[in-house]
Amino acid sequence: QVQLVESGGGLVQAGGSLRLSCTASGSLFSGNYLGWYRLPPGWDRQAPINQRQLVADIKDDGSTNYTESVKGRFVISRDTPRDAVYLQMNSGKPEDAGIYYCNHRRRSVRYWGQGTQVTVSS
């Protein structure tokens, strides 16, 4: 079992920055990924999990993966000793808005945080 707790969501102006944090606890075995997924506006927290869209993830070896729309603007990083993952969101755009979920993935098993709301004002 892995528990994930997010923080750092809120309101950001277009062009501004925001930093999301997530702390994991429980059994994190090697070969795991920590990442961030976004549920677009218009969906509530009861939306099917498959509506969540990958934003970025990072493996425990440091390799990263970003969705095309955030490349060059967002930076994902990881503090392995603290089992934490961060998402630095820069040059925010209205289309970045949504509920951001922290995710832990290893093989076919996934765990999710409760989500944190990000609103971008134009």
Q: CA geometry: angle at 35 spanning 32 and 38, to 5°?
A: 150
pLDDT, block means (10 residues), the chain with 122 residues: 95 96 91 95 90 97 97 96 95 97 94 96 90
Q: What is the pLDDT of residue 29?
A: 87
Tell me what the pLDDT averaged over the chain comes to: 95
Q: CA-CA distances (angstroms) from residue 73 to 23, 45, 55, 92, 122?
A: 22, 26, 11, 8, 17
Chain position carrying tokens 């969101």: 89
